[in-house]
Structure 1
Amino acid sequence: MDQINKKKKKKWPWIVGSIGVLILAVVVYGIVVFKGLTDTAKEIHEPIDRELSEKREEPVAFIKKEPFSVLVLGVDEREGDKGRSDTMIVLTVNPALKSSKMVSIPRDTYTEMVGKGVQDKINHAYAFGGIEMSMDSIEGLLDIPIDYVVQVNMESFKDIVDAVGGIKVTNPLDFKVGTYTFPKGEITLDGEKALSFVRMRYEDPRGDFGRQDRQKQVIQAVMREGASLNSLVNFKSIFGAIGKNVRTNMTFDEMIDVQSKYRDAFGKVDQLYIKEGQGKMMNGVWYYMMNDQELESIKVELKEHLKL
């Protein structure tokens, strides 16, 4: 009996030691990941020269869990040219309702370029006045405050897709772009294929609206994969890809607040659709003219979601 007890006593130090090493490894790994996260957050943070929106009396207070909005700009930057914001997605986040709403704005939408005094395609606002004019013009179009902005370099977006290990999306139609074939149904995409998948427009019977849906699918898939446990192994490459290709006016402390206080709101994302407008040629240029009734309905829904 004493011999058995001795054997048990010999096992316990080894087990406790192993658990201790495991806990230490997890702590060290957590510190490394956190360090990578803070470094990346500092790298992508870019203050913008823009005062508080006139549609807000005071800044959003995350500590009070107030609803807020984010504009996602997918920008095609070209050498010697500021580029165009060909992807414009507005996200409103309401923690009390545990929901988010997402709406894609057609790139050819005819509206006022706030700060320039002319009307043009909404995606030209970025070329005319950068992020600030894009935010101001979209505020004018939707009549809601745009609190934060996330700018993504679309040409290098493929690096982010590759960093999370690829993504899965549901393709609504068969089509081919260059050497890539995209069959209908669930497909797996690497970075290069994802970029071709979101850019295709002319073979889609729904045109720009079909492309908007594919863009939202890819963004949601990247967010889903990025949040998975498997992606923690690749955190260095993920942070590296984000650091090179993403810019935002949200600070690290604000990101932490959103992650801790608004997490449940990202579990349900309702998609709003702009589809009742019509195309119109003016001076040889094609524009998308929004349907006033549909636009008003979207404004009301977003305002209610932001508790305005």
Structure 2
Amino acid sequence: MKKKFWTTFLISFVVFSTIFAIIGHRMLNMDSMASQEEDDYDLEAEKIIEEKGEILFLLMGIDDQDGSGGVESVKAKKIEGENRHRPTGKRTDTMILCKYNFDTGDTTMLFIPRDSRVSIGGRKSMEKINHAHSYGGPYLAIKTVKDFLNVDLEYYVTVDYLAVKEIVNAIGGVEIDIAERMYYRDPADKPPLIIDFQPGLQTLDGEDAIKFLRYRPKDLGDLGRVENQKLFMKELIKQTLRPRNIIKLPKLIKTYYGYVDTNIPLSLVLKGVGTVNKVDFENINTHVLPGEGKYIGGTSYFIPHEEATRKLMEELFGNFVLD
């Protein structure tokens, strides 16, 4: 039972971070008791999920390297309500539409390039999709993705990249086989950013892991960054589940909790625990939004291919595609 519980911790990091955002909230006695209104909402949500047998949610990663905001900062301020992330002004570095099947444990992930050109509520012109979180927090991000991909989406999980740094350091680093040299220098960044990884098998510590996730190849642009993120996430799950690392997981909960936020009801989280052992970590169904890079008005965007996107959405998320 304990092994399943800690396995769930890993899934939570990638596609089910929810578990410790909610359970951790109660473990740390930061919330007394759910209100009757919340209980009623959980029951209604569970009823809907029961019919579909699956849950759809938006997983977002934000980078708070400068310490100006992020999940931990918002929680410390105890800002409540749907727009509680608005004060941080943080854009998303990672945006993944995730589907989890409660019966089979099948997991589907669609990576949405951060430069995708879309309409955002309240804005006069089309902008990059990663701006949505900055303007209106996770709920505006959800609405933007819902309108863009025409899906029934209401849940989110937000993970601060600092959580990645903590976990990677705790397990002694993550091994990544780097195909070619990754070099980038930004002297204007504070402190100056220098990314320089040689090809071959490398063990990345927490700080290097953040650099790896931020790196964008010149020839592939945002799509290259997405591919790096896919590789890293799969390796992190696999390597954290090694026997020598399982015993290190309990002490990470308190630290990890501060970097995760979600609106998924506890009842839905617990519903998935029983199928955790069915998840095939080597074959998580991952896709990238089809499209191509293009400059418009001097700005680099990712332009989604509408027909290919529509077909992919039907194939991957048919139960949630709106009429």
Which of the five TM-score ranges fits, normalised by the shorter chain? 0.7 to 0.9
2:120–2:132 contact (8 Å) kept in structure 1: yes
Mapping of 1:23-102 within 5 angstroms?
A: 40-42=24-26, 59-61=45-47, 66-77=53-64, 79=68, 81-96=88-103, 98-102=105-109
Residue 163 of structure 2 is aligned to residue 163 of structure 1? no
2:246 to 232, 247, 253: 232
Structure 2, unaligned stretches of length 5 or more?
A: 10-19, 35-43, 70-87, 185-192
Secondary structure of residue in 2 paired with 1:108: coil
Mapping of 1:151-190 within 5 angstroms?
A: 151-177=158-184, 181-190=196-205
Instruction: Give 1:191's aligned amino acid.
Output: G
2:257 to 234, 239, 243: 243
Which has the higher Rg, Structure 1 or Structure 2?
1
- In structure 2, the partner of 1:299 is 313
Secondary structure of residue in 2 paired with 1:213: helix
- In structure 2, the partner of 1:6 is none
Which whole-Å CA distance do the structure 1 matches of 2:319 and 2:233 have between them? 21
Which whole-Å CA distance do the structure 2 matches of 1:264 and 1:44 have between them? 31
Which whole-Å CA distance do the structure 2 matches of 1:115 and 1:265 have between them? 39
Spell out, residue by residue over 1:27-75, the C-alpha distance to the aligned partner (whole angstroms, 9 max, x if none). 9xx9xxx9xx68625369999xxxxxxxxxx635466671111211111
Which whole-Å CA distance do the structure 2 matches of 1:299 and 1:74 have between them? 22
- Residue identity over aligned pairs, in percent, reads 23
Number of aligned positions between the proteins:
266
Structure 1, unaligned stretches of length 5 or more?
A: 1-25, 48-57
- In structure 2, the partner of 1:130 is 137
Which whole-Å CA distance do the structure 2 matches of 1:163 and 1:145 have between them? 37
Instruction: Give 2:306's aligned amino acid.
Output: D
Which whole-Å CA distance do the structure 2 matches of 1:44 and 1:200 have between them? 38
Instruction: Give 2:251's aligned amino acid.
Output: S
Spell out, residue by residue over 1:68-93, the C-alpha distance to the aligned partner (whole angstroms, 9 max, x if none). 11211111245274211121011112
| TM-score (normalizing by structure 1) | 0.72
* Superposition RMSD in Å: 3.5
After TM superposition, give the deviation of residue 197 of structure 1 in Å: 0.7
| TM-score (normalizing by structure 2) | 0.69
Change (3 A) 1:101 1:196: same
After TM superposition, give the deviation of residue 235 of structure 1 in Å: 2.5
Which whole-Å CA distance do the structure 2 matches of 1:225 and 1:64 have between them? 35
2:225 to 211, 222, 233: 211
Secondary structure of residue in 2 paired with 1:59: helix
Change (3 A) 1:102 1:45: farther
